[in-house]
Structure 1
């Protein structure tokens, strides 16, 4: 947990699966535009921060090819009102917009991201107090 404490102090986001490891939900699978992605969600764990964002890392995987994965990263507002591209990789703005819209289309993912955000903030309080 010292590494997590260090990240909290530095204001670095922490991946949900680093705090709550579970192979069933470490990543969100996403099939969009004939491409397969794994999506990792990270959060600011500073209990005093009011950012209300998730950092989402979209990693395009090539299951049957020996190609290096392509990826992009966004800062997603947990109120559902947009995102900011943090790293674009080989993707253009329109591709990213389409992928993000597909990922968040039904509202279920937004609710889940908000739940995970709350869990991370609670865990941060536990870590800091211990």
Structure 2
């Protein structure tokens, strides 16, 4: 069975770059207080699900020497009205909130996230038709 289909059947979110691989658009990037992050966005592809959110995995690109890359994951509402922490990693809540606020502050991220969400739902319809 196709790996994407396996995730859909198991109710897992699927990374946008798994379905639409493109090195230029696979991930979002963010610089925050001298730290560089890549943000992988995943979506529920269950065609019957009415969720309207993206799972965003923030991964710090250049970790401290001798340490693994630090990351955290949130479930971000695609109407821009908040998020839930899915995995805090080694980030304290204050820093995590500040990073997310910086990433979403101008509201410009909502458009591409919603476009990608819609692309993923359309692809799911094709898969299940």
Pick the TM interval, shorter chain: over 0.9
1:74 alignment counterpart: 74
In structure 2, how many angstroms separate the alpha carbons of the residues matched to 1:6 and 1:17?
A: 16
Find the residue that maps to 1:117 and give its secondary structure: helix
* Structure 1, unaligned runs of 5 or more: none
Residues 8-55 of structure 1: CA deviation (Å, up to 9, x unaligned) = 111100000000000001111100111110100000000110110100
In structure 1, how many angstroms separate the alpha carbons of the residues matched to 2:27 and 2:66?
A: 21
In structure 2, how many angstroms separate the alpha carbons of the residues matched to 1:2 and 1:26?
A: 20
Structure 1 vs Structure 2 CA RMSD:
1.4
Structure 1 segment 115-126 matched on structure 2, within 5 A: 115-126=115-126
State the TM-score, normalizing by the size of structure 1: 0.94
1:62 alignment counterpart: 62
In structure 1, how many angstroms separate the alpha carbons of the residues matched to 2:22 and 2:64?
A: 25
- Whether the 8 Å contact between 2:56 and 2:75 is mirrored in structure 1 is yes
In structure 2, how many angstroms separate the alpha carbons of the residues matched to 1:109 and 1:16?
A: 15
**1:95 Cα deviation after fit:** 0.7
Q: Which has the higher contact order (CA 8 A, sep 6+)?
A: 1
* Structure 2, unaligned runs of 5 or more: none
**1:105 Cα deviation after fit:** 1.4
**1:63 Cα deviation after fit:** 7.2
The question of 1:41 aligning with 2:41 is answered yes
- Whether the 8 Å contact between 1:73 and 1:86 is mirrored in structure 2 is yes
The total of aligned residue pairs comes to 129
State the TM-score, normalizing by the size of structure 2: 0.95
Stretches of 4+ moved more than 3 A in 1? 63-67
Structure 1 segment 86-97 matched on structure 2, within 5 A: 86-97=86-97
